[in-house]
Amino acid sequence: MLIGETVGMKRVIADRGYDANRIRAALREQGTIPVIPGRRNRKRPIQYDERRYKDRWRVEAMFCRLKDFRRIATRYDKLARNFLSAVSLAVAVAFWL
């Protein structure tokens, strides 16, 4: 489970799909603050940092922009080093040039 890899992080921002009491408890045990809105069908609303949650779109937009490059979206390269090189070039073209 990837939640175990979040040790040392201050916050974890996730969407409503990760709204589960066990995930929130696991994050709090590690000293991480979960920034996860509650599902709409919860009886008691969950408190979360709405300002920080709104910044989540930046990460989503970055992945969407990278997927514009067919080679990245389809994982055309089989070797990890070649794929990382392609991602690096795509990032340079998409965000720097």
pLDDT the model gives residue 1: 61
Residues 86 and 97: their CA atoms lie apart, in Å, by 15
Per-residue model confidence (pLDDT) at position 94: 86
Say which residues have a Cβ less than 8 Å from residue 76's Cβ, sequence separation at least 6: 70, 86
Predicted TM-score (pTM) of the model is 0.68
> What is the pLDDT at residue 10?
92
Residues 6+ apart with CB under 8 A from 46: 19, 36, 37, 38
Distances (CA, A) of 27 to 16, 20, 37, 41, 58: 15, 11, 14, 22, 23
Quote the pLDDT of residue 34: 92
List, for the chain, all residue ranges whose pLDDT scores fall below the cut of 50.
Answer: none
Cβ atoms of 34 and 28 closer than 8 Å: yes
